[in-house]
Copies of this chain bind each other. A is one copy, B any other.
Amino acid sequence: MKKLINDPQDVVAEALLGIEAARPEVRVDHANRIIYRRDAPKARKVGLVSGGGSGHEPLHGGYVGLGMLDAACAGQIFTSPTPDQMLEATKGVDAGNGVLHIVKNYTGDVMNFEMAAELAAAETGITVDTVVVNDDVAVQDSLYTAGRRGVGVTVLLEKLVGAAAEEGRPLSELAALARVINDAGRSMGMALTSCTVPAAGKPTFELAEDEMELGIGIHGEPGRRRVPLASAREIAEQLMEPILADLDFSSGPLIVMLNGMGGTPLIELYLMYGEVAKIIERSGIPVARNLVGNYITSLEMAGCSLTMLRADEELIRLWDAPVNTAGLRWGI
């Protein structure tokens, strides 16, 4: 295992030290492994909390800051944070307007956020609403999930609902908006290689030199099928086809994210985006905004995922609103 780490057990704790040193817009509660927006709790604003296993950076800690999350709970690598962390974060961001939990659909995350919401209600009286993101069209159930997994739409949702929260909208409205966004987005991913969880010390799975995995999960959990290594052009078709089959995108301009899994160079991501853009162009649906880069990763896995969101004028407006985080920054 070749990694820029000290002790495999300390990776998350030490990465949090680095994030704190690097990013002026956040502060870190190291005991609870929570990254807070520096000025949380923010008056006259619903608190937005997300979190999950580490290893998907910049998700979620890199999305804490003005215009996105108020707090992110960092679990061990590919492991859900605990209800205690989530409860603490919920208390830390509540300014009396309630808190929205943004949860990727993995069994551990869903259970723990649910418990945290119950504890918050019982112990503190804080109102919590929850949106569960489940945009991955690859598989219905999988290793860590009942139902669809939550992947790339999480990034877009955190941006869009974050912008709406800055406008002082109430919790019920933000939760409804979050559900609309989740319902309007779909993702599909693929891997060329596995990744190595530091504490495990060896690759999560093996892929032969002439194979790739379609529909891979962000923890290396199995996808739809192993297939022969294909060209970028074919891969773009293979990612797009199940997405388009699953939802009618024809009504709206799109927000498209071509996301790297962590170990794929940007030149390949741009090349892939070119292939994706050609297919979308043939469909006649305009792309209003896009992201190309590493936004929701699986450590050093090579591969990519495609996320498509059916937007409208209001969502584009929220997209363009100022954001100041490690992972997304503009307008500031």
Contact = CB atoms under 8 A, between A and B. Distances in A.
A111 interface: no
Most central of A12, A266, A290 by chain B CB within 10 Å:
A266
A2 B299 contact: no
Contact of A4 (B16, B18, B77, B232): B232
A265 B302 contact: no
B266 A58 contact: yes
A325 to B, nearest CB: 11
Contacts of A6: 231-233, 271
A51 interface: no
A62 interface: yes
A271 B18 contact: yes
A14 interface: yes
A297 interface: yes
Contact of A330 (B21, B278, B332): B332
A5 B192 CA distance: 12
A22 B275 CA distance: 11
A160 interface: no
Contacts of A20: 274
A115 interface: no
A19 B192 CA distance: 22
Interface in A233-263: 233, 235, 258, 262-263
Contacts of A300: 263-265, 302
A77 B62 CA distance: 31
A11 interface: yes
Interface in A16-74: 16-22, 54-55, 57-58, 62
A22 B192 contact: no
Contacts of A272: 4, 18
A130 interface: no
A3 interface: yes
Given A18-B274, A266-B62, A266-B294, A192 B3 contact: yes
B274 A14 contact: yes
Contacts of A235: 4
Interface of A: 2-6, 11-12, 14-22, 54-55, 57-58, 62, 77, 192-193, 195, 209, 212, 229, 231-233, 235, 258, 262-275, 277-278, 287, 290, 292, 294, 297, 299-300, 302-304, 326, 329-332
26 contacts: A2-B229, A2-B302, A3-B192, A4-B192, A4-B264, A4-B272, A4-B304, A5-B232, A6-B231, A14-B274, A15-B267, A17-B278, A18-B269, A18-B270, A19-B274, A20-B274, A21-B273, A21-B290, A22-B292, A54-B267, A77-B267, A263-B263, A263-B300, A265-B297, A265-B299, A329-B329
